[in-house]
Amino acid sequence: MTAIPTDSPGNLNEYTRGLLDSLERQADQDGYSIERALVQSCSESLQELSQAPELLWVDVRVAGSRTQPGLLAHAWAVDELDRLHLAGVLTRDGVPDQNLPYVFSKKEVDDVLQRMLNLASHLRDGKTLTDETHPDVAEFARQGRRILDDDSPEIVLHLITPGHYRSTLPRVSLPGLIVTPRVHDIAWFWKITRDEPSEQLDFRQLPGGGLPCLVASQDVDGEPNVLLTVMPGTLLAELYDARRDELLRRNVRIYLRQTRKVNREMALSARTDPRRFVALNNGISAVAASVSLSADGSRIETMNDLQIVNGGQTTATLHEVWSDRRQPSDLAGLSVQAKITIIPPDTDASDELAQSIALAANSQNKITASDLLSGDPHERSLQRISRERRYVSQGVETGWFYERIRGQYAGMLAAEDRDAKSYPADQVITKTYGAQLAMAWDREPYLSSLGGEKALGVYKKELKRKSGNRALPEASEQDFDHLVALAIIRREADGPIAAEGTLKPPLGFYLLAWLAEHLGDEIDLNQIARTGVLPERLLGVIQQVTPLISRVMRSEPASVPHEGERPKRSDCWKEVSKITLEGLAQNVHGRRDFTRQDWQAALVWAQGKRNKVLREKIMRARKIVQTGQSSQKREFLVSVMQEAIDGGFKIDLSKVAV
């Protein structure tokens, strides 16, 4: 089998810088720390890959001392098998751009994993946490103690870092616990952004010169489209070890490790009776872009883009047996039967066919709605439109980048050496954010507030229901234009939302829902997408209604004790929707504050001037407005705008309270 080529340092450096810029932008928009934005990004990727449930932010950190070991958990989750997942972030500040990504040592990684394990031990011993009065921490502690009190608890440790880790995983253990450590570093993030792996697998070095095969079906031109083969267990384990996430991207089942009875029995069979494994196991189903056969058609010599759609549990279990340090097995004599369907990438409806195979192969188990979303026609059509469609705003032509796979934007910039000006960093719409925007405009902000992956699953279920439970329809250009317009409205509301402090993401969704409810008939989404500019009245309304929505959203429904949970309830929306235009408190003379739109226009004007100092002042002013500091920095904003006007910038200030 051919080795996987490594990424060049230059590409990884570009990707790291792009990812960090994206995280900083997301942190600013949501009012979060960089660590929380990183955890959220990793969590959504893990959910897409069916490797973990949603990681919930908790931020428990206790510095170590002579009498108290260090404790750490930035986030946590409990999966369907009652396994406790803990996540810890490892970062390094002050690293020059040219030295990114920073390479962490084994000791640094071991320290973070050990601190997470110390926290598990702390909870198992029944000790309390300092911040346990907070509802989020209290729930984490309660669930953690419950799981760790079982007879054979299992814990999964996720170390998340924008740095690079090149060594083997440190050995971490705690008596009485099954501990699985995982490292999600920059190479992991970079790897999972690869959309369609084009790597060729070369089997000609195997005994006999390839994989033995039988052509079960051919197309009209006589080319094979379904092959039956038998794969050596060692080969399958090595494939999984080298390209785990790409290999299982289309697999819809989460690997449940050896805690489930069938997986324990499978592992036992692989160890004790490997030659009978092929008779006892159902095998795997896979798809590939193409194959080349031997002259007589009896062996597969090479294969492109192998994707396992059913059999992920078999593959992962064999890998665990093969790589087990305590009881390793070379899987000698073990074989696995495989059915491989050839789907060329340019085949019409190739994604629907791949999904149909996956769903049919997995029909014995329930498939969640979001398991196969990244490859559906709706997602692919939005991606295609976003790459083709251009928008002109204030004289500048740019694109809006639809990110079908998390990290795709940073990967595009690094892999294609593309100038970020063609797709500005604040013009990226992830598929989860797109779903949240769409549901908010449909007056369902409480669903948008559930979180990215949950909201996406609900949104796609609704799309499928509207299509009569048939395959998801392709999106139209107007669908994408409306998505762009909603993102523009939400971006222009950054300042008023930031001024309200916490709960920024749900406040943005509730604002969109309120606008749809009360001004939907007069807001022209097509016009906003075409021009990138909001009407004067809409800017004023956003500034006036946002604090009112925030006030109601934080207090209703009163029966829900935790403020952060209230926006997730439909009763919260019922109360917010009652706010009326007539009830808005008009500011002095009916005028508004400066908006991002004002400063963006000034910045476009300043780009053609030689006054670098003024450009930097304008950029600072835009940042001040976007972060909700207009009232504190009003004097500076007025002076900068006056300086721009004196230099020739034209703006109507009659509507601005200056």
DSSP for residue 165: -
Tens of pLDDT, residue by residue over 111-157, are: 999 999 999 999 999 899 988 888 889 999 999 999 998 888 889 99
Task: List, as one string, the DSSP characters of 257-303.
Answer: GGGSHHHHHHHHHHHH-GGGHHHHS--EEEEESEEEE-TTS-EEEEE
For residue 248, give Cα distances in angstroms to 79, 240, 245, 322, 489: 19, 8, 5, 18, 37
- Whether residue 117 contacts residue 179, with contact meaning beta carbons closer than 8 Å, is answered with yes
pLDDT given for residue 246 in this prediction: 61
Q: At what angle do helices 596-606 and 634-646 cross, to 10 degrees?
A: 40
Q: How many CB atoms lie within 10 A of CB 635?
A: 8
Instruction: Work out the pLDDT band at 606, boundaries 50, 70, 90.
Output: confident
At 644 the pLDDT is 87
User: Of all helices (H) and strands (E), which one includes residue 404?
Assistant: none
Least confident range from 2-16, 272-286, 294-308, 478-492: namely 2-16
CA angle 482–356–320, rounded 5-degree value: 105
Confidence (pLDDT) at 252: 45
The DSSP secondary structure of 201-253, one letter per residue, reads EE-TTSGGGSEEEEEEEE-TTS-EEEEEEEEEHHHHHHHHHHHHHHHTTT--S
**Rounded Cα–Cα distance for residues 513 and 493 (Å):** 13
Q: Which residues contact 289 (CB under 8 A, 6 or more apart)?
A: 196, 198, 304, 305, 342, 343, 344, 345
- Of the two residues 6 and 173, the one the predictor is more confident about is 173
Decide which of 169 and 439 is more confident. 439
pLDDT at residue 189, rounded to an integer: 87
Q: Is the pLDDT of residue 401 over 50?
A: yes
Q: Is the peptide bond before 535 cis (omega within 30 degrees of 0)?
A: no
More confident residue, 241 or 500: 500
Highest mean pLDDT among 43-52, 276-285, 351-360: 276-285
The predicted-structure confidence for 40-84, as pLDDT tens digits, reads as follows 989 988 877 767 888 999 999 988 887 778 999 999 999 877 889
Res 378: pLDDT: 84
**Average pLDDT of the segment spanning 486-508:** 89
In whole angstroms, give the CA distance from residue 6 to residue 101.
15
Please state, in angstroms and rounded to a whole number, the distance separating the CA atoms of residues 418 and 401. 12
374 band by pLDDT with thresholds 50, 70 and 90: very low
Average pLDDT, stretch 276-293?
88
pLDDT number for residue 97: 85
- Average of per-residue pLDDT across 16-42: 86
Q: Phi/psi at 227 (nearest 5 deg)?
A: -125, 145
- Per-residue model confidence (pLDDT) at position 259: 43
Distances, alpha carbon 479 to alpha carbons 378, 382, 525, in Å: 10, 8, 10
Mean pLDDT, rounded, for 512-528: 93
DSSP bridge partners of 338: 229, 284
Q: What pLDDT does 354 receive?
A: 57
113 in Cβ contact with 170 (< 8 Å): yes
443 or 218: which carries more pLDDT confidence?
A: 443
Is the model's pLDDT at 109 over the cut of 50?
A: yes
Half-sphere exposure of 375 (CA within 13 A, CB side): 23
Max CA-CA distance within the chain? Answer: 86
pLDDT, residue 194, reads: 60
**What contacts 85, CB < 8 A, 6 or more positions away?**
52, 53, 55, 76, 77, 78, 79, 155, 156, 158
Q: Give CA–CA dist 504/547, Å, rounded.
A: 11
What was the pLDDT predicted at 5? 35
Task: Kindly report the average pLDDT of the chain as a whole number.
Answer: 82
Q: Please check the confidence at residue 373 and state whether its pLDDT lies above 50.
A: no
Q: Which span out of 217-226, 495-504, 539-548 was modeled with the highest average pLDDT?
A: 539-548
Query: What would the 3-class secondary structure string for 573-634 be?
Result: HHHHCCCCHHHCCCCHHHCECCCHHHHHHHHHHHCCCCCHHHHHHHHHHHHHHHCCCCCCCH
Checking if the pLDDT of 25 tops 50, the result is yes
**Proportion of the chain above pLDDT 70, given as a percent:** 84
Beta-bridged to residue 403, according to DSSP, are: 430
Model pTM score: 0.67
Residue 287 has pLDDT above 90, yes or no: no
Question: Which of 13-22, 33-42, 412-421 reaches the highest mean pLDDT?
Answer: 33-42
Give the angle 190-455-546 at the CA atoms, nearest 5°. 105
Residue boundaries of the structural domains of the chain? 9-192, 200-365, 377-585, 591-658
- What pLDDT is recorded for position 212? 95
pLDDT tens digits, one per residue of 417-458: 555 678 888 899 988 899 999 999 999 999 999 888 788 888
Least confident span in 181-190, 191-200, 300-309, 649-658: 191-200
